[in-house]
Amino acid sequence: METNQYLDVFIDESKEHLQGINDSLLQLEKDPTDLTHIEVIFRAAHTIKGMSATMGYDDLANLTHQMENVLDQIRNKVLHVTQQVLDVLFTSVDLMEAMVDDISSGGNGKKDVSAAVAELTDIELGKTSTKGQSVRKAENASANIQDSYSELALDSFTQTVIDQSFEQGFDAYHIIVYLSPHCLLKAARAFMVFELMEKKGDIVYSAPNVENIEKEDFDDHFQLVLITKDSKAEIEAVILKVSEIAGVDLAPMQRTMDASEEEDVKGAESVVEMPPEDVHKQVVSSKEASVDTPKAASKTIRVNIAKLDHLMNLFEELVVGRGRLEQISKELGNDDLNDSVERMVRTSQDLQSMILTMRMVPVDQVFNRFPRMVRQLAKDLGKQVQLDIVGAETELDRTVIDEIGDPLVHLIRNALDHGIETPEVRVQRGKTPVGHLTLSAYHSGNHVFIDIKEDGAGIAKEKVLAKAIERGLVTSDQADQLEEQQVFELTMAPGFSTAEKISDVSGRGVGLDVVKNTIESLGGHISITSELNKGTTFSVQLPLTLSIISVMLTKIADETYAIPLSSIVETAIIRRDQVMRAHQQEVIDFRGKVVPLVFLGRVFNVEGMDEQGSHLSVLIVRKGDKMAGIVVDELIGQQEVVLKSLGNYLTSIFAISGATILGDGKVSLIVDCNSLIKS
């Protein structure tokens, strides 16, 4: 079978499923009793197994198959989730990721998985109990059926139905049916049993569920709960009449509610007051309804990012042409032409919104790799770390998403290695033994900010300065003049490190220059704030590289500047006598808050700016919780423009993020308001 044409799909889907497995394993580790995560992991592993077998990647298929066996035992409550089981599953996922990465890089996906398969097999066979783990194999399932019953995942409604059946004089049985090892049509045998049982009473629960039984997605046995008036012997005899049934375990169920739950059921009874037959019909009908209801399938296609880039470039040219057409239309004043242009503008705006949406992806695509990484690193370093992720839904352009992963990995490794202390040290310093690492993303103006914040040891300024002087980065006199932020930025000098011992995880300073360079190459910026024994925050500012933005066009003398609307809070015309001075800075009172004024003409040395008029045109802009009032000569109006970079020769122009071509053919610079506020 020729499979190359499906390779991209295989790689993309495998990575998605592996990420899902990773996420669910982390959730399962937090709550080993929540088996819904096992179902997710099992389905993902099952899909990967099928795809890899079809594509001819046998090692991947074999490993996934054995992993699936272990997962099947867990979801059927034959096996308990222990730390050892989780570790082996995590190791298996690592191997699977390595094989998929190898395939993605053009390799054959082959890897020695024998050790992992052997460990999984030992777990499946219950041999891991010698290691002190509580792995339990259901070799004598009949003897343990009462235990299985106590572990049945019955929802409150089903439990209420069972309890009511007792009051109506019915019995409820927990039944485990074992199929012959040579059974060829497992689903057919299972439904024969179901058909016979439905003649005896009402089935209110089955494990696996009906959908998985139809797919034969179960091992050699299945469970059900039957409400009936027949005796245990009669039911057992009926089931054993079905061919290829190896055995059956059957136990009467007991009322399991305690006194407090009794009260809850009384409340439920007032709502659900019907004989068990009717109740069962309702259960069955609701199940049928859920089966019959078609699932809202997500209809998507995968598009090469290069095609989207090309589409974007074409649209940028269209926007420039649209601006030119609008200008001509205004100059000519022809009504028909105006109407046509307005219609074209509306249509192209919708098209623009669509294209932008297609390129934007949530930053979660990068963040989702970190929980697993933090878990493993914390384990390796003997630290306790809680990772909190905030704003994972924040969207960034796909090209930026692809580039920021490695810098963030380095910053997180750095935070764990040198920022967060060991539990013993934290306790000595009066902190909780568990360190907190927060990864947050948010929009601000025309940028996205990603903060990596930890509550660790903080950066010792004196240590940084001493090292900087020793390395000749600054003189003693210069060191005295440096502000706190400038001191911290010294840690991003090439090869700079204050670490007494360089580990293989990271070194504060070692590699931060690479992180800084990478972020700046994206047009971004990184800043550091730190407080000794309180923690450190790395703040990464990234541009939305999507090149079409809405701006407010302004005029200073004869020059036109564009200010992104996303940064503007409000525009205002203020009287000259409303301007005050504070700390040698011109300020205004904006809704009870003192806001400093930035005269744009002074910043860019524009000659001819009108600063003596009786009124000032001010744009109030915001960066986080900081605000500033940008003073210009004239506010022209809003417009959508194409953001073009200034090229490699003009990479460090202060407070300018790019340029655009206006409708009259003139070039306008686009102001970076965040830089103005920072200054």
pLDDT of residue 90 exceeding 60: yes
CA dihedral angle for residue 238, residue 241, residue 243, residue 245, rounded to 10 degrees: 50
Mean pLDDT score, 367-377: 85
Global pTM reads 0.53
d(CA 208, CA 75): 9
pLDDT classification of 545: cutoffs 50, 70, 90: low
* pLDDT surpassing 90 at residue 293: no
CA atoms within 13 A on the CB side of 588: 24
For range 444-450, the mean pLDDT: 78
Q: Determine which one of 17, 22, 68, 212 is catalytic.
A: 68
Res. 202: pLDDT tops 80? yes
Evaluate if residue 438 carries a pLDDT over 90.
Answer: yes
Q: What is the pLDDT of residue 298?
A: 53
What pLDDT is recorded for position 281? 43
Long-range contacts of 304-311 (CB under 8 A, 24+ apart): 305/398, 305/399, 308/355, 308/358, 308/359, 308/398, 309/399, 311/355
In the prediction, which pLDDT does 678 show?
58
> Is residue 251 over pLDDT 50?
yes
Closest by CA position to 674, among listed 575, 530, 564: 564
Mean pLDDT of 104-122: 84
pLDDT beyond 70 at 467: yes
pLDDT at 464 exceeding the cut of 80: yes
User: CB-based burial of residue 480 (10 Å sphere; 0-12 exposed, 13-18 middle, 19+ buried)?
Assistant: exposed
The pLDDT value given to residue 292: 42
Q: Which residues contact 34 (CB under 8 A, 6 or more apart)?
A: 27, 28
Residue 134 has pLDDT above 50, yes or no: no
Task: Calculate what percentage of the chain has a pLDDT beyond 70.
Answer: 83
pLDDT tens digits for 616-672? 899 998 876 678 999 999 999 888 777 777 776 776 778 888 888 777 778 889 888
Q: Which domains does the chain have, with CATH numbers?
A: 1-125 (1.20.120.160), 158-252 (3.30.70.1110), 361-499+509-543 (3.30.565.10), 548-676 (2.40.50.180)
Out of 476-490, 531-545, 640-654, pick the least confident.
640-654
Q: Which residue has the higher pLDDT, 451 or 503?
A: 451
Average pLDDT of the segment spanning 251-265: 56
Least confident of 43-47, 312-316, 331-335, 391-395: 312-316
Q: Which of 242, 175, 241 shows the shortest CA–CA distance to 202?
A: 175
Q: What is the pLDDT of residue 269?
A: 42
Considering only residues 288 and 230, tell me which one the structure prediction assigns the higher pLDDT: 230
Collect all residues with Cβ–Cβ distance below 8 Å to 57 and sequence separation of at least 6. Answer: 99, 103, 108, 109
pLDDT at 368: 83
pLDDT at 267: 43
Query: What pLDDT is stored for residue 455 in this prediction?
Result: 92
Q: Are strands 535-543 and 626-632 parallel, antiparallel or unpaired?
A: unpaired
Find the angle CA(104)-CA(506)-CA(540) to the nearest 5 degrees: 75
Give the pLDDT of residue 452. 93
Residue 654 has what pLDDT?
84
Q: In this structure, are residues 666 and 325 in contact, taking their beta carbons and an 8 Å threshold?
A: no
Statement: residue 128 has pLDDT above 80:
no
In whole angstroms, give the CA distance from residue 451 to residue 453.
Answer: 6
Contact 482, 494 (CB under 8 A): no
Active site residue 68: yes
Residue among 17, 37, 46, 65 flagged as catalytic:
46
Mean pLDDT for the chain? 78
Q: What is the pLDDT of residue 5?
A: 66
Tokens describing residue 187: 């689903």
- Average pLDDT of the residues in 496-512: 54
Q: pLDDT grade, residue 499 (50/70/90)?
A: low
CA-nearest of 568, 577, 565, 554 to 662 is: 554
Q: What percent of the chain stands above pLDDT 90?
A: 7
Task: Return the minimum-mean-pLDDT range out of 253-257, 291-295, 516-520, 529-533.
Answer: 291-295
Which of 482, 444, 452, 447 is CA-nearest to residue 464? 482
Spatial contact of 553 and 636, defined as CB atoms under 8 Å apart: yes
- Select which of 22, 414, 446, 674 is catalytic: 414
pLDDT given at position 135: 38
Q: Give tens-digit pLDDT for 151-171.
A: 566 777 777 778 778 777 788
- Specify the pLDDT at position 436: 93
46 belongs to the catalytic site: yes
Beta carbons of 458 and 530 less than 8 angstroms apart: yes
Inter-residue contact 222 to 206 (CB < 8 Å): yes
- pLDDT above 80 (res 200): yes
Instruction: Return the pLDDT at 255.
Output: 66
- Residue 618 has what pLDDT? 92
Q: Which candidate, 136, 126, 134, 116, places its Cα nearest to that of 62? A: 116
Rounded to whole angstroms, the Cα distance separating 272 from 383 reads: 51
Decide if pLDDT at 64 tops 50.
Answer: yes
The DSSP line for 8-72 is: HHHHHHHHHHHHHHHHHHHHHHH-TT-THHHHHHHHHHHHHHHHHHHHT-HHHHHHHHHHHHHHH
Q: Is 414 a catalytic residue?
A: yes
